[in-house]
Amino acid sequence: MTNAAPVTDLEYAWSALGGDPALPARVSLLPRRGVLEARLPVRELARACVGACALAAAELGARRAGLAEVPGVELDDGAIATAFVSERHLLVDGRAPVAFAPLSRFWRTADGWVRTHANYPHHRARLLTALGVTEEDPDAVGAALAERSSREVEEAVYAAGGLAVALRTPEEWAAHEQAAAVARRPLVEGEQLNTARARALPPLDDSPLLPATGVRVLDLTRVIAGPVATRTLALLGADVLRVDAPHLPELADQHTDTGFGKRSATLDLMADRRAFEELLAAADVVVTGYRPGALHRFGLSARELAERRPGLIVAQLSAWGSYGPWSGRRGFDSLVQAATGIAAVEGSAERPGALPAQALDHGTGYLLAAAVLRALTERAEQGDGRCVRLSLARTAAWLTNRIQPGPEGNVTYGGPDAWLTERDSALGRLRYALSPVLFTDGPVDWARPPGGWGTDPARWV
C-alpha cells in the first residue's frame, strides 16, 4: 500500500530546483519502519533528495520521449535506506571494504573533541606534520591532541593542508560566520552562464526510458557526494567519464562503489591540456567536487568553461559552500557533521555521535544529479548553459532547521537483501546496492560494472 509522499520536504527540494509545483503529485511513497533511525529526520531528508532526483529524471524522460505525462515516481524506504549506505554493502569477491582509516575519527582534546579525516595518504601526512608526530601511531596522535584545544588543532591542521574540525554544538555553529553565510544561500544555487544555444538531444523511443541518453558528463569529482551524482547520471544513460589527476589515486573500494556505469581515466591538466580541451569541446555537463577556487588555476571556473563550450551545464559541489570564511577549506561529510552540531545532536557535547549514514554526502549527491537533470530540461526549452551549486553544509542546515518528521509506515524494513544484487566485473564478483531512483519504465540497474581506477582512455565513446 503506497501513500502520498510527504509534501513539505519534497516540495521544498523540488522548488529549490525550479521544478513545476504540480509534479510532486506524481510521487508515491512506501514508508517502512526501522530505516535510517536517528534523532534528526534523516529518513525524510533521504526521501526528499531521492524523490527530487527521480522526479527530475522522469520529467526529462517524458520531455525527450514526447510522453503526455510525466511517469510516476516510486519511493521505497527500503531501497533508499540501502542505497544511502551503499559503501557498507559493497563486497568484492566476498571482501568488505574498510570505511575509515585508523586516524579518521573523533579524538579528545584538552577542552573537548576534534574530528579528523585521514583516509588519503596526503591528508594523513599533513595531519601528522601539524601535530609534530613522526609515525602513524594512534597513541602518539591521541597524546598530541590531548595537549591542545579543539580550535587550536582545527586551525593548525588546516594551515598544514590537513583535515580536522572541532566539535560544535548547534548553538556554537549558529554563531559562526560560516553558518551565517550558508544560511543566506538557497539549497540549490543557479545562474545562467550564456545564451548560446546548446546542441539538441535526440528524442527517445527505447525501453527502459533513459533520460540522459547521449549526454556526455565530464566527472571531476572524488569521494562520495559528487561520484554518487555522476553514478546516478550514468544509471540514466549518460556517458560519464571520470577524470582524476594521475598523482592522486582514489581509494579503490570507494571508487568501485561509486563507479557503476562510468569509465575512469587519468589526465594531468597541465601536461595533457589538449586532451582535456578535446573532452570539454564535446561535453554537455561538467561536474566538479573540489573546493571552490581549486580548479581556477587551470582555467576551469564555471564561466571560463562556458566560454569555451557554449551551452555547457556546470555543476559544482563543495563541503562548506563557495562563500564565507571557510569557502576555501577542504571538507567531508563526517567533518561537516562535527562542525554544524549534528554530531552533538546525535550524541552529546560530551560524547559525539553520528548519523546512521553519510547522509549529507548521499543526499547532496542525489540533489546534485537532480539539479543537472533539471538544467538539461531547461536547456532543452531555453537553449542556455547554466551553473548549479550545492554544498554539504547547506544540506546540513536543511536537515537541522527545516525538515519535519514524516510517516513511518507499518511495513518493516527487514534488511537490505531485496535491494542488493551481484554481478561479475574486471574487479571480481561484486555485491552492491541498487539505485533508489525509480520511476515507471525507468532503469533498475547500471549498464556496466565499474572498472579499475584510471583504466580507460581519456576520450568519449
Give the Cβ contact number of residue 216 at 10 Å.
19
Angle between helices 392-401 and 42-65 (to 10 degrees): 120
244 an active-site residue?
Answer: no
Whole-number Å distance between alpha carbons of 251 and 325: 29
C-alpha cell at 195: 545564451
Catalytic residue among 253, 284, 361, 384: 361
Distance from C-alpha of 151 to C-alpha of 172, rounded to nearest angstrom = 12
| DSSP 8-state code for residue 315 | E
User: Is residue 419 a contact partner of residue 434, using CB atoms and an 8 Å limit?
Assistant: yes
SS3 429: strand
Contact predicate 34/76, CB 8 Å: no
Alpha-carbon distances of 238 from 69, 114, 313, 325, 380, rounded to whole Å: 23, 40, 14, 36, 16
Q: How far is the CA of 348 from the CAs of 43, 161, 168, 243, 352, in angstroms?
A: 21, 28, 10, 40, 5
Report residue 441 as a C-alpha cell.
Answer: 519504465
Amino acid of residue 295:
L
Q: Which phi and psi (to 5°) does residue 293 adopt?
A: 90, -15
C-alpha angle 371-84-204 in degrees, rounded to nearest 5: 45
What distance in Å separates the CA atoms of residue 288 and residue 284, rounded to the nearest whole number? 13
316 forms beta bridges with: 288, 389
**Alpha helices (H) in 251-312, listed in sequence order:** 252-257, 273-281, 302-308
What are the beta bridge partners of residue 3? 29
Query: Residue type at 23?
Result: L
So which residues are the catalytic ones? 361
